[in-house]
Structure formats: structure tokens, C-alpha cells
A and B are shown apart, each in its own frame.
Chain A
Amino acid sequence: MDLTTLTYIVVGFTFALYIGIAIWARAGSTSEYYTAGRGVNPVANGMATAADWMSAASFISMAGLIAFMGYDASVYLLGWTGGYVLLAMLLAPYLRKFGKFTVPEFIGDRFYSKTARIIAVVCLIVASLTYVIGQMKGIGVAFSRFLETDYATGLLIGMAIVFFYAVIGGMKGITYTQIAQYVVLIFAYTVPAVFISLQLTGNPLPQLGLGGSLEVGGAQGQHLLSTLDQILVDLGFDRYTAMQEGNTFNMMMLAMSLMIGTAGLPHVIVRFFTVPRVRDARKSAGWALVFIAILYTTAPAVGAMSYYNLINTVKDGTPTQVDASLPYEQRPQWFKNWEQTGLLSWDDKNGDGRIQYYNADNPAFSSEAQQLGWEGNELTVDRDIMVMANPEIAKLPNWVIALVVAGGLAAALSTAAGLLMAISSAVSHDLIKGVFNPKISEKGELLSARLSMAGAVLVAGYLGLNPPGFAAQVVALAFGLAASSLFPVLMLGIFNKRMNSAGAMTGMIVGLTTTLVYIFTYKGWFFVPGTNMLPNTAEYWFLGIQPESFGALGALLNVVAAALVSRVTAPPPEHIQQLVEDVRVPRGAGEATGH
């Protein structure tokens, strides 16, 4: 059977599964629609959270990012896992005890202010919508590359699937499909990784294989990582395991911003509203990280091993000998397949018919390259193929490739659904019920929730079809906003009883505006090219902090401003202080179910 047919069968089977779950898990009440009736087992919720959190970028792009950045990519691994510690200890259990439906609802109630709630809704929608564009693109790309449809058709099919289970099942439908999607994506990620690790190092666990010794090739018996270090140095690159980025402070700030941002992202927080008890919320955060860690500890191995395989394909023996470069005519079949997609390309700059891959931007290496007759790096590799081409490089059967496609789609669909859920419940519960029509009936709210979801899917689909030029830049914005505006006020609302409305609102606005202004200063106002006030390079950054790393500082400014203002204004009313004391104690969470 050819690959396309097989991929259709595997992807079709997973989609049928998601639709089946949607029909089984219909939501009959607002509690089921917003929080899956608070009946989700903590381990199951951990799995759903993992699928919710791990996006198309985690599945497809992260290993490639690690491959080409080496040690420096550690900040992403740290940043996107460490946030769960903050979530488990500082937010999840208390927000679960609070027992309402949405994140802005907590902010509105705790700070007894509709304005605070609306600011939170705006932050939520901006952060989630920017994020969802990437997922929509991921779905379109996966379809067009493997199922031979065009981009728009693929995106529309993906939208239709999400539309179906999100509108019918709400959080309940999304939860159970996310569990299925987690199983698909983790299987698809780990199977090729295990085989590659086995082939290269003889160890089936990629986490151990990465620290193991090579079983094949000229460097047999030597450590994989030290061999990779040596090859890269020979080609004029920095060592794989060494820090290349000179600015340690910036790295620390980036990791911190990603951690705080992760903990402040509403679509992740609301997942913990679905478990029955406070202690389940704590436990569930732990299980979520278990399921995330399976992929996040495998990714460094996939990155290093597939990069090693790639270089070894084009370089044989001592990489700097002329005859070590692979003649183009002898390239393997997978190389040809990926050339067709344009993600792998060769440009014979010196006309010798061989593939030269080296660091042409390293001035110290240029004389050596000149001596060898190299006139520039000839191989261009898109980092996404490190995961997608993995099964082919490892000569795994076609069904594994089909599985990887289904896994990438599962990652994109599950994250898109979670984000759309956060957006639509903010619209129906915080805006329609909370602000415009508080007397709306349960049935009316359920209908408006479904309509909001339908609207959110259509907006996301439109943005996926016509992605704004700044789509690639906005991830910084999503994490920056979550870190600088949402996380600090949520935490202060729980841990600082004296925090009042004026303090929280000042804090949110200070965190939000400083972070936005900082990002726009270097990336252009609203990302319009040419409107940036300073060039986006290290010598112009404040204390060497890149725009993506500013969230942590924004969070600090938020907390400082909130503390100062709350000190000189009246303390919150008695019943709010009572609410805080109540939220801090687990007992009694069972009874609270929405309102």
C-alpha cells in the first residue's frame, strides 16, 4: 500500500475516533459544557492537559529547534515544563476551590470589579487567539504535505472536526478527545524515537541513549554527544553541548518568562477546574507534567540523533576531507522525498556535484573552507523535518510515518480545541452572562456558549486561512501577556489577602503596557514592519533582555505596582477577605459548582 493511502487510513481512523467520542460525550448543562461536570479523574485530566498544552510546535518543531540550537534550546525545555510547578503550588488548587467556570470570573469576583474582569478577558482573548493561529496553520500544513490536499481544504477539514466536538461536547467533549489525542501523539512521537535510539546506541530508551555510546559508524564506541560536538566543531559550528548564547542573564529571563507564562495561560488553568476535588487539582498537575515529560525528555534525543543522522548522511569519515562530502547523485531516497517539499534543498555553489554542509558564517572557518574549495553552505534544512523525516531516515515502515502525521494533527487539534474553549467561555460566560445579560437562563447560556464556540472556530479558521503577517512573532506576545498580566494578579489574589481592586488593576495595566511597549519597541507597533523604534539586536536591548524574555520583568513590575497601590488605598471588603480565606482551605470544594 502506498504511503498516501496508508496515511489516509490512519488519519481517518483517528478522526472517526474523535467524532465517536464527541457523540458519546455530549454536554447537557453549563457545568458540563464549561468544566466537564467536574467529574474528570485527575490522571485522565493530566493526560488531557498534556495534549492541551503540547501544540503542533511542541510535536513538530521542538526537536528541530533543539537540533540546531543544541544546549541553548534548553531554555524552552525548562520554560515549558517548569511552569507546572508554579501551577501546582500557586494556582491550580485554589482556583479549583473557588469553583467557578473561567479565569476572568475569578479575577472579577476576587477584585469585586467588572473592569478587572474585562481586562482579564481582553488579555485572555489576545493570548489565546494568537496561539490558535499557529495550530490552524499546523493542521493545514500537515494535510497539504501528507494527504495531498491543498492547504485550505486541509484547514477546513480540521476546522470541521473541532467544530463538531467542541460545539456539541464543550469541555466534556474536548476532555475526552484530548485524552485520545494524547495517546495518539505520544505513541507517534516515541515509537520512531525508540527505534532511532536503538539503531544508534543500542539503548531503547532515548533518554538514556542520548547519554550513551554509538554502536554504528566510524565513531563506534564513543559517546554520541561528544562525537556530535566534534563533528560540529570540524564544520565550523559551536559545540552541541556548549552554551553559545553569550548572555546568561537573558537566558534565565527567557526561561522564567516562559515558566510564568505557562502557568498563566488560561486554557491550561481551566483544565484544573474539571477535577472533583482540590487535592485532585494538585495531583493532576503532577500527572500532566508526567505525560508532558515523556515527550519533553524524548525531544532532546530526537533532536541530537536526527541531526547526527543528517550530518552523517552528507558527510562520511573526516568531515573536512573533500571526498567526505556526499555526491549529490548518491543521496538517499528520503532526501529526494523531502527535496520535493522544498523543506530540504541543495544549491551546488562551487559546482563540484557534492553536498557541502558547514557554518559559512564563521569567519574563523572561512580560510579552511576556501582551501577545500567550498564556496558556501549548500544544504538548507527546515527544522520541522527533524521529526517528520525521522521515520524515513531510520528506515521504519510506512505505517510509522502515517502515525507521525496523525500525531502531529492530534497535537494541533487538541491545543486548538483547548484554546477555543477558553476563548468561547470568556465570551459567553464573562461577557454575555457576566456583563451584558446577567439574567440569562441556564439554557440560554448553554446556547450562547455553543454559538460563541462556533464563532471562535470560524474566526480561528479565517485567521488560519489569512494569517496576519505577524503570526510568527506573536508567541512572544501570548507568553508575555500571560506572564505579565494574568499570572501575577491570580497569585496575588490568593496569597495577598490585603490586595484590593485598585492594586490589582494597576498591576495588570502596568504589567501589560510595559510588556507590550517593550515588545513593540523592537518588533514594531502592532508588529507593523518598520515602525520599531530600536533595532531588534542585543546591543539595543535593555539589560540585554530580548523582547521574548520581558514577561518575567513585566510580572515583577505588575507585582510591585499592585503592592504599592494597594497599600495606600482601602483594604478589600470583609466578604472578599472571607473569600480568600475560604479559597485557601480545601474542604468544601465539592459543593461549589458554578453559580
Chain B
Amino acid sequence: MSNDSARKEAAAAYWKENVRLLLTLLVIWFIVPYIFGILLAPLLNNILIGGYPLGFWIAQQGSIYLFLILIFTYVVKMNALDRKYDVHEE
């Protein structure tokens, strides 16, 4: 019985850490394209990276690279989290 409730607690803690991780990543997922890529793009376009105006680069290139980084960060962190709570697959 105590074993069962310990497992329940572990599952709840695992889920809480998962949700915290994905919320953090989703905040970045929102801020970069929507705030920097759209809302502030006219302002950021005054800065040049090579021939790219910064706002334009974030909207047409940078955000896509960021999405990749976010997903693979999630993959790596979740694999570690699965092991930490011993819920990983064989």
C-alpha cells in the first residue's frame, strides 16, 4: 500500500517537472517569434546581421532554428527525466 502511494507521488512529481519544463520552453517559443519576430520586428530591422535586418531574420530564419533547438532540448531533458523517475522504456 505504501509502495503504491510512493509510486503515485513519484508519478505526480515526474508530471510536475515535465509540465514546468515544457511551460518554460513554450514561453521562449512564444516570445521569440511573436514578440521579436512580429511585434518588435520594425524596430529590430534597424539592426543588421550581415545583409539581414534582424527582425526579418528572426521571422524568416531564426525562429525556425529556435523551434529545432527547443524540441531537441525537450527530447534530451525528458530522456533524463524519464530515467530519474525510472519511467523510461527499455
Footprint of B on A, CB under 8 Å? Answer: 66, 71, 74-75, 77-78, 81-82, 84-85, 88-90, 93, 207-208, 210-213, 223-226, 241-243, 248, 251-252, 255-256, 277-279, 282-283, 285-286, 289-290, 293, 296-297, 300, 495, 581, 584-590
List, in ascending order, chain A residues with CB within 8 A of B38's CB. 74-75, 248, 251-252, 255
Residues 20-66 of B contacting A (Cβ, < 8 Å): 22, 25-26, 29, 33-34, 37-39, 41-42, 45, 48-53, 55-57, 59-61, 63-65
Complex Cα spacing A226 to B59, Å: 17
Is A225 a contact of B56 with CB atoms below 8 Å? Answer: yes
If the complex has contacts A85-B26, A88-B74, A297-B61, are A587 and B87 also in contact, measured as CB distance less than 8 A? yes
B60: contacting residue among A77, A93, A242, A581, CB under 8 A: A77
Is A293 a contact of B68 with CB atoms below 8 Å? Answer: yes
A–B Cβ pairs within 8 angstroms, 16 of them: A71-B55, A71-B60, A75-B38, A78-B37, A81-B63, A89-B71, A208-B50, A226-B51, A242-B42, A255-B33, A255-B34, A255-B38, A279-B89, A289-B68, A296-B64, A297-B64
List, in ascending order, chain B residues with CB within 8 A of A285's CB. 71
Is B22 a contact of A89 with CB atoms below 8 Å? Answer: yes
List, in ascending order, chain B residues with CB within 8 A of A241's CB. 45, 53, 56
Give the 7 A-B residue pairs with the shortest CB-CB distance, closest first.
A223-B51, A74-B59, A211-B52, A286-B71, A211-B50, A241-B56, A300-B60
Residues 55-90 of B contacting A (Cβ, < 8 Å): 55-57, 59-61, 63-65, 67-68, 70-72, 74-75, 78-79, 82, 87-90
Give the residue name and chain of the A residue nearest to B42 (CB): A243
Is A225 a contact of B33 with CB atoms below 8 Å? Answer: no
List, in ascending order, chain A residues with CB within 8 A of B29's CB. 82, 85
Smallest Cβ distance from A471 to chain B, in angstroms?
28
List, in ascending order, chain B residues with CB within 8 A of A212's CB. 50-51
B67: contacting residue among A82, A256, A283, CB under 8 A: A82
Complex Cα spacing A78 to B31, Å: 13
Q: How many A-B residue pairs have CB under 8 A?
A: 140
Give the residue name and chain of the B residue nearest to A283 (CB): B75
Is A74 a contact of B52 with CB atoms below 8 Å? Answer: no
List, in ascending order, chain A residues with CB within 8 A of B42's CB. 242-243
Contacts A82-B67, A90-B22 known; list 14 others, CB within 8 Å.
A71-B60, A78-B64, A81-B64, A85-B29, A88-B74, A89-B25, A210-B61, A223-B48, A225-B53, A251-B38, A279-B79, A283-B75, A286-B71, A585-B14
Give the residue name and chain of the B residue nearest to A224 (CB): B51
List, in ascending order, chain A residues with CB within 8 A of B89's CB. 277-279, 586-590
Footprint of A on B, CB under 8 Å? Answer: 11, 14-15, 18-19, 22, 25-26, 29, 33-34, 37-39, 41-42, 45, 48-53, 55-57, 59-61, 63-65, 67-68, 70-72, 74-75, 78-79, 82, 87-90
Complex Cα spacing A251 to B34, Å: 9
List, in ascending order, chain B residues with CB within 8 A of A211's CB. 49-52, 57
Complex Cα spacing A81 to B61, Å: 11
Give the residue name and chain of the B residue nearest to A256 (CB): B34
Is A89 a contact of B26 with CB atoms below 8 Å? Answer: yes
List, in ascending order, chain A residues with CB within 8 A of B22's CB. 89-90
Complex Cα spacing A285 to B56, Å: 26
Complex Cα spacing A285 to B90, Å: 20
Give the residue name and chain of the B residue nearest to A254 (CB): B38
Is A279 a contact of B75 with CB atoms below 8 Å? Answer: yes
Is B41 a contact of A290 with CB atoms below 8 Å? Answer: no
List, in ascending order, chain B residues with CB within 8 A of A277's CB. 89
Is B33 a contact of A279 with CB atoms below 8 Å? Answer: no
List, in ascending order, chain B residues with CB within 8 A of A93's CB. 78
A248: contacting residue among B25, B39, B48, CB under 8 A: B39
If the complex has contacts A225-B51, A255-B34, are A293 and B75 also in contact, measured as CB distance less than 8 A? no
List, in ascending order, chain B residues with CB within 8 A of A88's CB. 71, 74-75
Complex Cα spacing A210 to B42, Å: 19
Smallest Cβ distance from B30 to chain A, in angstroms?
9
A282: contacting residue among B41, B74, B87, CB under 8 A: B74
A289: contacting residue among B45, B53, B59, B67, CB under 8 A: B67
Complex Cα spacing A224 to B51, Å: 7
Complex Cα spacing A581 to B14, Å: 11
List, in ascending order, chain B residues with CB within 8 A of A78's CB. 33, 37, 59, 63-64
Is B87 a contact of A586 with CB atoms below 8 Å? Answer: yes
